[in-house]
């Protein structure tokens, strides 16, 4: 399908300080929009970024059919626009869509719309170190009616935000003992908006206690470590890196998969298995716990400085050549086209 482009009359880019970018708070000039109407995706267009109008009975407001993805675009020293594993994002968006009974978006339409948007807003992609263009594709129900059933119309929007670091400073976490992020048979593996809404209350309780984030445990016994905030979590005991297997409850993170592949490439021992809170606490007490870090698109890798559990705080050591720093450097080198990309993860626009 041809993509219609409606350029903005006057760019607001001159008002942006690219040396002081907060994450996801400044938005680029344009957005890509496509509608699902009469049983098919149609009318793809690039329009000025701005408000959208919906009927009060639109089912997104009542039954929560909403999913999203998180991606980034980078520029190398020659000015090339680069994406990191974008087809994986499209695939995961469609996995989420299927679970939430939202029509899947054709891969070629998604990629064409995304690339055209990046070309139109090329100037918005930061070039300063540590910054990138965050990309937010999302799909939601626009069909109208109060009947509790899937909608018959949907909208896909892709908008972008030049952004700096997601976290700054040391991150401490509280291991959750009561609340659960998701449950078996639920939608934890999908990037559904409601998953994140449900996280806010227990996360705020942790913030009120002085922590930055929550480490989620399983919904049944709260004995097993699962995720850290909105990220996959990695734990290093002695020299072995451990992360939980994906499941109905745990998101199949693209950064997570990349880290596991890099660990294999660099002969860093790792295990994908369930890990108990008890094992982590005992490793912290014995000094065998060397690192914990979260991994996701927004933060890339976020080292954890300490954690709290049952009213006791445990500090993690600061070590040289940490796995977190090794993986982050390797990922950024690929994303910014500074290092070898043997798996062809980087896609030029």
CATH code of the domain containing 182: 3.20.10.10
pLDDT at site 299: 85
200 within domain boundaries: yes
* DSSP state for residue 258 in the 8-state scheme: H
Q: What is the pLDDT along the chain (349 residues), one digit of tens a residue?
A: 899 999 999 999 999 999 999 899 999 999 999 999 999 999 999 999 999 999 999 999 999 999 999 999 999 999 999 999 999 999 999 999 999 999 999 999 999 999 999 999 999 999 988 899 999 999 999 999 999 999 999 999 999 999 988 777 789 999 999 999 999 999 999 999 999 999 999 999 999 999 999 999 999 999 999 999 999 999 999 999 999 999 999 999 999 999 999 999 999 999 999 999 999 999 999 999 999 999 999 889 999 999 999 999 999 999 999 999 999 999 999 999 999 999 999 999 9
Asked, for residue 340, whether it belongs to a domain, the answer is no
Residue at which a domain ends, from 108, 134, 163:
163
Per the domain annotation, does 204 fall within a domain?
yes
43 within 8 A of 35, measured Cβ to Cβ:
yes
Domain co-membership, 107 together with 182:
no
Range of the domain at 325: 171-335
pLDDT of residue 349: 95
- 66, 192 contact by CB (below 8 A): yes
Could you report how far apart the first and last alpha carbons of the chain are, in Å? 18
Task: Please check whether residue 343 lies inside any domain of the structure.
Answer: no
Go through 159-194 and write b for each residue having 16 or more CB atoms within 10 A of its CB, e for each that does not. Answer: bbbbbbbbbeeebbbbbbeebbbbeeebbbbbbbbb
Both 92 and 241 in one domain: the answer is no
Residues 240 and 222 reside in one and the same domain: yes
Residue 56 has phi, psi (to 5 degrees) of -55, -25
Cα–Cα distance between 309 and 223 in angstroms, integer? 12
Estimate the share of the chain in helix, then strand, then coil, as percent rounded to the nearest 5.
Answer: 25, 30, 45
CA angle 177, 182, 186 (to 5 degrees): 150
Angle at 220 between CA 218 and CA 226, to 5 degrees: 5
Last residue of a domain, one of 145, 163, 181: 163
Residue 184 main-chain phi, psi, to 5 deg: -55, 135
Shared domain check, 180 and 143:
no
Whether 324 and 176 share a structural domain: yes
What's the total number of domains in the chain? 2
For residue 12, is it within any domain?
yes
Q: Which pLDDT belongs to residue 245?
A: 95
Q: Is residue 150 domain-shared with residue 185, that is, in the same domain?
A: no
Residues 137 and 186 in one domain: no
Q: Is residue 345 part of a domain?
A: no
- The CATH number of the domain where 156 resides is what? 3.30.470.10
Q: Report the predicted TM-score, pTM, of the whole model to 2 decimal places.
A: 0.95
The helix or strand, by DSSP H or E, that contains position 92, with its residue range, turns out to be: helix 86-99
Q: So what's the pLDDT on residue 96?
A: 98
Tally of helices (H runs) and strands (E runs) in the chain:
7, 18
- Which pLDDT score, from 0 to 100, does residue 129 have? 81
> Which of these three, 163, 179, 200, is where a domain ends?
163
What residue ranges in the chain does DSSP mark as E strands?
Answer: 4-5, 30-37, 40-48, 66-68, 71-75, 81-84, 132-141, 154-163, 171-175, 213-217, 225-228, 231-237, 240-243, 270-272, 289-296, 300-309, 312-315, 346-348
What's residue 25's pLDDT?
A: 93
The answer to whether the CB of 118 falls within 8 A of the CB of 30 is no
- Which tokens hold the place of 81? 């626009």
Q: Are residues 193 and 320 in the same domain?
A: yes
Here the tokens at position 44 are 């793809």
346 located within any domain: no
**DSSP H or E segment with residue 332:** helix 323-335
Q: Are residues 23 and 117 in the same domain?
A: yes
CB count within 10 Å of CB 146 equals: 10
């Amino acid at each position: 399908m041809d993509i219609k482009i409606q350029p903005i009359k006057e760019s607001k880019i001159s008002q942006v300080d690219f040396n002081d970018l907060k994450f996801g708070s400044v938005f680029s000039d344009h957005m890509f929009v496509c509608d699902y109407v009469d049983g098919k995706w149609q009318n793809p267009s690039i329009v000025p970024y701005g408000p959208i109008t919906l009927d009060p009975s639109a089912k997104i407001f009542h039954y929560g059919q909403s999913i999203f993805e998180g991606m980034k675009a980078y520029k190398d020293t020659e000015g090339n626009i680069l994406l990191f594993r974008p087809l994986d994002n499209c695939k995961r968006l469609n996995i989420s869509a299927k679970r939430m009974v939202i029509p899947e978006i054709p891969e070629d339409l998604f990629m064409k719309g995304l690339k055209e948007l990046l070309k139109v807003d090329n100037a918005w992609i930061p070039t300063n170190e540590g910054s990138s263009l965050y990309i937010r594709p999302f799909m939601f129900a626009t069909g109208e009616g109060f009947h509790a059933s899937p909608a018959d119309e949907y909208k896909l929007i892709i908008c972008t935000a030049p952004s700096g670091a997601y976290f700054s400073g040391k991150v401490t976490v509280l291991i959750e003992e009561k609340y659960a992020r998701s449950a078996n048979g639920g939608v934890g593996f999908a990037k559904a908006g409601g998953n994140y809404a449900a996280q806010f209350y227990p996360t705020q309780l942790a913030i009120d206690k002085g922590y930055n984030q929550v480490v989620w445990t399983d919904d049944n016994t709260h004995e097993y470590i699962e995720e850290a905030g909105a990220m996959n979590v990695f734990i290093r005991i002695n020299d072995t890196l451990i992360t939980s297997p994906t499941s109905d409850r745990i998101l199949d993170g693209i950064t997570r998969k990349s880290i596991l592949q890099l660990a294999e490439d660099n002969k860093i021992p790792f295990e994908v298995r369930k890990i108990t809170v008890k094992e982590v606490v005992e490793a912290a007490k014995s000094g065998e716990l060397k690192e914990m870090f979260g991994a996701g698109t927004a933060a890339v890798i976020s080292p954890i400085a300490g954690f709290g559990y049952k009213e006791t705080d445990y500090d993690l050591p600061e070590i040289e050549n940490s796995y977190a720093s090794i993986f982050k450097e390797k990922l950024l080198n690929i994303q910014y086209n500074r290092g070898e990309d043997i798996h062809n993860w980087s896609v030029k626009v």
